[in-house]
Amino acid sequence: MKLKSCWIGMLALMAVVSCGGDSAYEEPVAPVQDAAPPTEARVVDPAIVQMQADCAAAADAMQARQAESKLYDRLGGREAFLAVTTDIVRRHRVNPTIVHLMEGVDDADLIAKVTDFLSQAAGGDVEYNGLDMVAAHAHLNLTDEHFLSAGGDVQAAMLAAGVGDDEIQEVMCMFASLYGDVVRS
């Protein structure tokens, strides 16, 4: 199954667009200790809900491809991940929605850690030694808009590198699976 063009375009344009899926999903927000009011619900952007639904629908096809050949190998190994990650960080540096999140970030360190993380997640014999995703992103106070914008950079870098549709789908679904860990506000 290929990515639905609706969310490919949505991420590539880094816009907050509804793909005509279900209405917004409400995710409970953890209550603040000693808070008097009941837990409030945070509305998740419909584009993110649609992306996650598309990934769930494609899970069997992605699993079958992974069983046939690891995503890591299909993409060309760690050097290919390094090239794409370098481009992602470059894009983040000029992305007006998220450039402020890059202040004080050591690009070389970030590129190395993200390359290792993605390489390991894609089935490579690479060990990621960085923080877990919650700890790595907690201080950033990321929003759905940041998440979608960063996803646009990820997808644009893969497209620029000539990555195939199936592999883009798998990487973007890895990205989508991290939503609850990185967007906490």
The dihedral sign for the CA sequence 98, 103, 105, 111: positive
The percentage of residues in the chain with a pLDDT greater than 70, rounded to a whole number, is 78
In the chain, what percentage of residues exceed pLDDT 90?
76
The domain of 19 spans 5-30+40-182
Q: How confident is the model at residue 39 (pLDDT cuts 50, 70, 90)?
A: low
Mean pLDDT of 134-154: 95
Determine, yes or no, domain membership for 68. Answer: yes
Give Cα 181 distance to the centre of its chain. 10
168 domain residue, yes or no: yes
Q: Which residues are CB-neighbours of 161 under 8 A, at least 6 positions away? A: 80, 83, 84, 87
Domain-embedded: residue 10: yes
Residue 94 within a domain: yes
Averaged pLDDT, 23-30: 38
35 within some domain: no
State how far the Cα of 64 lies from the Cα of 60, in Å rounded to an integer. Answer: 6
User: Between 165-177 and 144-160, two packed helices, what is the crossing angle to 10 degrees?
Assistant: 160
Reported as a single tens digit per residue, the pLDDT across 80-113 is 999 999 999 999 999 999 999 999 999 999 999 9
How many domains does one find in the chain? 1
The answer for residues whose C-beta is within 8 angstroms of residue 5's C-beta and 6 or more apart is none
Question: What's the pTM value of the predicted model, to 2 decimals?
Answer: 0.77
Residue of higher predicted confidence among 170 and 18: 170
Region 163-172: what's the mean pLDDT?
A: 97
Residue 128 lies in a domain: yes
- For residue 155, pLDDT over 70 is answered with yes
Q: What is the DSSP string of 43-103?
A: EPPHHHHHHHHHHHHTHHHHHHHHHHS-HHHHHTHHHHHHHHHHHHHHHHHH-TTTGGGGT
Interior CA angle at 131 toward 156 and 72, to 5°? 45
Question: Is residue 124 a part of any domain in this protein?
Answer: yes
Q: How do residues 57-85 score in pLDDT, each as one tens digit? A: 999 999 999 999 999 999 999 999 999 99
Whichever domain contains 134, its CATH number is: 1.10.490.10
Average of per-residue pLDDT values in the chain: 83
